[in-house]
């Protein structure tokens, strides 16, 4: 087990800073308690970087974060930067990290904590005990496919276009991650595509089927994305591990998050392998920068704190600490403490800071 934790913290924009502060509290306490050397550097990304450096991610920042063991990111974006040219927007900073570090496997667990059953918009019996893991391909597909752009055809006519491209090797590596993950869970894997309409996802399906030969114990099923979105809301517990393309994963993970009560509860890990075979990874909440509530100290920091838990599991291979954090979050919820987004009657409303403190108190016990 590593004793040095070299971590880059990128708070980003909007509520990013507030929730990152809570992650930091937890991290500092854990490193003291378990005797780690926490070597943490704060870096700029997104709008915060645009304002200071004129670019959503500077090459210097990229160089530094490439060397760290793990990256923790808050959120990027906001109305302030929406008018900017595409390449200059905050989101490009995040996408550049994913691409440059080749973080191709994105894990988005949707887990329903018992005390939060009432916060979901779905009936308790539909979501009680829900535990889905969505694996999203993160560095290919329509997000990065060429050609792309907006082209002027005539005075009044423009053409906007993006390309959904997948290469066999890109599908194969995410398939392997998905099958390996399914092997550690209930051995059920559902691959989501749109193979009835899109050739690139027909290839996706074929590669999934080919890969399944190596995992005879895993029960592989296929679902079209439109059906999958409907099934997620109708009967989410039919799923265990879902694997899907970059854009379908983006959409389905927002949907899956609401099953758990709030987008503010969903952590994520984006994992890749560097040239020297070491694991590279970034941890971030699935929710965005929520500019409407930024600076008000009311955002839910739990997705961020749970992302730290994922970091201990995936980057530092320490399930004990990961479980400790998850349990602390669950205890806080059991005691009725809530941020506004997960409030139901009789709960005690906490601010972002207070929620961070409560989780810390729980950890200390």
List residues near ligand IPM by CB under 6 A. Answer: 77, 91, 94-95, 250, 286, 288
Cα separation, 192 vs 226, in Å, equals 9
Q: Which residue's CB is nearer to ligand IPM, number 165 or number 343?
A: 165
- Closest residue to Mg ion in the complex (CB): 250
- Note the residues at the interface with Mg ion (CB under 5 A): 250
254 is catalytic: yes
Distances (CA, A) of 321 to 184, 261, 316: 19, 25, 10
Q: Residue 289 CB, nearest distance to ligand IPM (Å)?
A: 8
CB-based contacts of 201, cutoff 8 Å, min separation 6 = 164, 166, 193, 194, 195, 245
Among residues 18, 301, 270, the alpha carbon closest in space to that of 139 is found at: 270
59 is catalytic: no
- Closest residue to ligand IPM in the complex (CB): 91
Tokens for 132?
A: 């889905």
First-to-last alpha carbon distance for the chain, in angstroms, is 24
Active-site entry in 143, 166, 215, 283: 143
345 is catalytic: no
**Residue 62's binding partner out of ligand IPM, Mg ion, none, with CB under 5 to 8 Å set by partner kind:** none
226 is catalytic: yes
Active-site entry in 13, 69, 193, 250: 250
Q: Which residue's CB is nearer to ligand IPM, number 95 or number 183?
A: 95
Active-site entry in 96, 194, 313, 358: 194
Cα separation, 290 vs 299, in Å, equals 8
**Residue 94's binding partner out of ligand IPM, Mg ion, none, with CB under 5 to 8 Å set by partner kind:** ligand IPM
Q: Which residue's CB is nearer to ligand IPM, number 95 or number 126?
A: 95
**Phi, psi (rounded to 5 degrees) for 32:** -70, -50
250 is catalytic: yes
**Residue 15's binding partner out of Mg ion, ligand IPM, none, with CB under 5 to 8 Å set by partner kind:** none
Cα separation, 130 vs 116, in Å, equals 11
Q: Which residue's CB is nearer to ligand IPM, number 12 or number 115?
A: 12
Q: Which residue's CB is nearer to Mg ion, number 287 or number 313?
A: 287
42 by DSSP, 3-state: which?
Answer: strand
- Residue showing tokens 């890749």: 272
| Residues recognised as catalytic | 143, 194, 226, 250, 254
């Amino acid at each position: 087990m590593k004793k040095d934790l070299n971590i880059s913290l990128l708070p980003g924009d909007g509520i990013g800073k507030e929730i990152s502060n809570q992650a930091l509290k937890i991290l500092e306490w854990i490193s003291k308690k378990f005797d780690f050397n926490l070597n943490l550097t704060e870096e700029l990304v997104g709008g915060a970087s645009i304002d200071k450096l004129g670019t959503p991610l500077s090459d210097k920042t990229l160089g530094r974060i490439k060397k760290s063991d793990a990256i923790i990111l808050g959120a990027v974006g906001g109305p302030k930067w929406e008018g900017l040219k595409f390449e200059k927007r905050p989101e490009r900073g995040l996408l550049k990290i994913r691409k440059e570090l080749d973080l191709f496997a994105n894990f988005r667990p949707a887990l329903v904590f018992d005390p939060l059953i009432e916060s979901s918009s779905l009936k308790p019996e539909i979501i009680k005990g829900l535990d889905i893991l969505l694996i999203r391909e993160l560095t290919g597909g329509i997000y990065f496919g060429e050609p792309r752009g907006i082209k002027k055809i005539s005075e009044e006519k423009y053409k906007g276009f993006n390309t959904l491209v997948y290469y066999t090797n890109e599908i194969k590596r995410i398939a392997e991650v998905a099958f390996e993950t399914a092997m550690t869970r209930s051995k059920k894997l559902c691959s989501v595509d749109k193979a009835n309409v899109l050739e690139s996802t027909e290839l996706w399906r074929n590669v999934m089927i080919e890969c399944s030969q190596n995992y005879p114990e895993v029960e592989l099923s296929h679902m079209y994305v439109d059906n999958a979105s409907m099934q997620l809301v109708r009967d989410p517990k039919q799923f265990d591990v879902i694997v899907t393309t970059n854009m379908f994963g983006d959409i389905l993970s927002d949907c899956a998050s609401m099953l758990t009560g709030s987008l503010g509860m969903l952590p994520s890990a984006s994992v890749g392998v560097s040239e020297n075979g070491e694991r590279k990874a970034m941890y971030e909440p699935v929710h965005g920068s929520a500019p409407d509530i930024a600076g008000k100290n009311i955002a839910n920091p739990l997705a961020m704190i749970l992302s730290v838990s994922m970091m201990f599991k995936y980057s530092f291979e320490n399930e004990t600490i990961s479980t400790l954090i998850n349990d602390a979050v669950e205890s806080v919820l059991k005691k009725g403490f809530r941020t506004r987004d997960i409030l139901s009657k009789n709960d005690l409303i906490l601010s972002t800071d207070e929620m961070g403190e409560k989780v810390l108190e729980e950890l200390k016990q």
